[in-house]
A and B are shown apart, each in its own frame.
Chain A
Amino acid sequence: MQAKKRYLLVSVGACSLLLAYLCGLQIGEFHNQNHAELYGVSQDAGVPPRPPRWPEWVDPPPQTYLGEAEQEEDGPLLLHQHTSPRERREIQKNIYKSRRCRMETCFDFQRCERGFKIYVYPSQKGEVPSESYQKILAAIEESRFYTTDPNEACLFVLSIDTLDRDQLSAQYVHNIRARIQSLPLWYEGRNHLIFNLYSGTWPDYTEELGFDIGQAMLAKASTDMDNFRPRFDVSIPLFSKDHPQKGGSKGYLNLNNVPPLRKYLLVFKGKRYLTGIGSETRNALYHIHNGDDIILLTTCKHGKDWEKHKDARCDRDNEEYTKFDYQELLHNSSFCLVPRGRRLGSFRFLEALQAACIPVLLSNGWELPFSEVIDWSKAAIIGDERLLLQVPSITRSVGSDRILALRQQTQFLWDAYFSSVTKIVLTTLEIIHDRIQTHMSRSRLMWNSLPGGLYALPEFSSDLTLFPFYYSALGKSPSQEFTAVIQAVTPLQSQQQPIFKLIHAVAKSKFCAQILVLWNCEKPPPPRNKWPSITTPFSIIEGKRKTMSGRFFPHQAIITDAVLSLDEDSVLSTNEVDFAFIVWQSFPDRIVGYPARSHYWDSGKGRWGYTSKWTNEYSMVLTGAAFYHRYYHHLYTYYLPTSLLSMVDQLANCEDILMNFLISAVTKLPPIKVTQKKQYKETMMQQGSKASRWADPDHFAQRQSCMNSFTSWFGFMPLLHSQLRLDPVLFKDQVSILRKKYRDIERL
């Protein structure tokens, strides 16, 4: 008996060994297979047979899918040749209306031939639109597209508040149908843009607006893909009535943390609707709530009679709900769940975006805000309501580098398109603008990378490498030359004038491609032979408008990426010009120059102050001697509103401050000051020798008030301080001057 037992034991042992061995082989093989697939290595004959594939026919079909006729031309039926394309277009315009509207059938492009101008109907007496709608109208009226003349308008915006079309709401405007029909320019809604935040009502929350919008475009929040007319409507984000008019608060991210994971993985805090449309999504959230790193809190409390519908979980949920602070959750979570509510969009979306909490969208069929231009996959995780249970594993599978990128993108998008009502409105308008001038529209790159579509004007060029923003993304660098633009306001009298020295010094720079003198003097410009004789191309441009802003006009003659902006009495050596240009090449999106100034908050007067004193930091570089990208001429002239430009012209002052405001608003970075040099003008060096605008005591006060006007238009103070200046590497180092490249800078 014992022997048998032993035999049995040994045989069993041996068998299990064999089995283990075989299993080992199998696992190994499995690993190999995974490995191969992971790296896209095709499996060769050594590994298991590939699945039966599409056969390799012994007689592969010889004929191509194009019939004989099609190969030559496309459906060449003579019959068809009789339908004129013009007629076909007319027929289409009649068929594709209302719900099937597209730009080509419901929009009258001819109205826009004189530019993209927007007319807002005058408001009716005694009628006060909601706060949000007032902000929308104000944003349009302050934009560069606004016109008061309906005849030159391309787009029309109603003065009737259409934001809230929920019949149960207090803001609901009655009798809208008749009022719209009575508008003299309505034309069935052609070229009209209607804003809406809430449509439909309890219980089914349809996209019903309560009136026929006809051929009008709809800029609507919570749009459903089904009702959305692609490239005709615009999906806008849902924003609250407290959303700021301008500027807007910054995103919460002020430094990039690594590792980027925050305390919580995924959070949500909000109401849930116990029954009815859209309730399932939030009601199911408790399935993935784990109380540890996934905190999804819902409350049943809303409305008067919530207790009637209350379910088994309500009490527990309500209790949990009060335990956590929403702001605390927002700031400390990597991802924020944005599930649909009654409607598809919710406030949670913008909140998450601002908090740099990567939105995880659970809202099937939602046409995301500005989806026509924004690539949301770069800033959000687009989930599927049906796959709620996968959300934890999906969010956990997002790598650190991706989180870092997604998070930064949320901040960029927030700041570029969402942080104020003005930005939301302007984005809407620019999207429509892009459709009207298709060959001059923004590419996806312009919309989805810094500084964003509102600051990148496509009219400047269709060549992205001509902008200061995309060099690294396209693997390009700015051109190696610059154009000197000298602003001349005094007549030429003697060869001793500073402008002569300046022209000679600049012309000696090997990077100087051309010198342009902007003749802004009342007298006619002197002939070429009165000017210094230099080999560098030299030309004089007489401004049509001899104004301060004229110095930043994007003249055709400027062909280099870099502009060296100079006052006629600036004093610069060739060395200084060269060095500043070399530095600019490393920072082509900023102002790089010599004289610096600073701003500060004057808490006593409650306003911004301007100082030209020597300080440890600066926030502006004067454009009397500075390099910047030529694109900023275009932006200055066409982006800024006429109100600011005419203010500058009237004062004949502040143009340099405005340029600094603009560039810092675009880049979110301070300018760059180079070298020690502070005084840069003859007149400054010989005090009081000549009456210049610098000597004027009003001059300074004006600059102070300019700053405050500019701040109010921008809606925030864009200037930023820098504590450093850039010097040549060997500047003032104790080494032979012969070793130094920029010797003149040393001597100053």
Chain B
Amino acid sequence: MASSSDYVTLVSNDGFSFVVQRSAACISPVIKRMLDPKGAFMEARDNTCTLQNINGMVLEKVCEYVYYHEKHKDARDVPDMDFPTELCLELLMASDYLNI
């Protein structure tokens, strides 16, 4: 496997895995550090991050967010991303953990 592949996998605690672009996933400094090839973490070898405290639904929204963030990086007057209210608090905890 290439040492620095273009895509990485994020796995939720209930077994869902999401394949996202490395550049998007590394918007989160936590994930970036986990996947850093210079680091000694197991995640860096497999290009897979298992997030034990985030479930599938929330992780899906997180993936959507990282792409949304990357897409609108230099733009002005960006419209807010939409997400269901029920996910709100869990998403807040996840975003606080991932620091995004």
A binds B: no
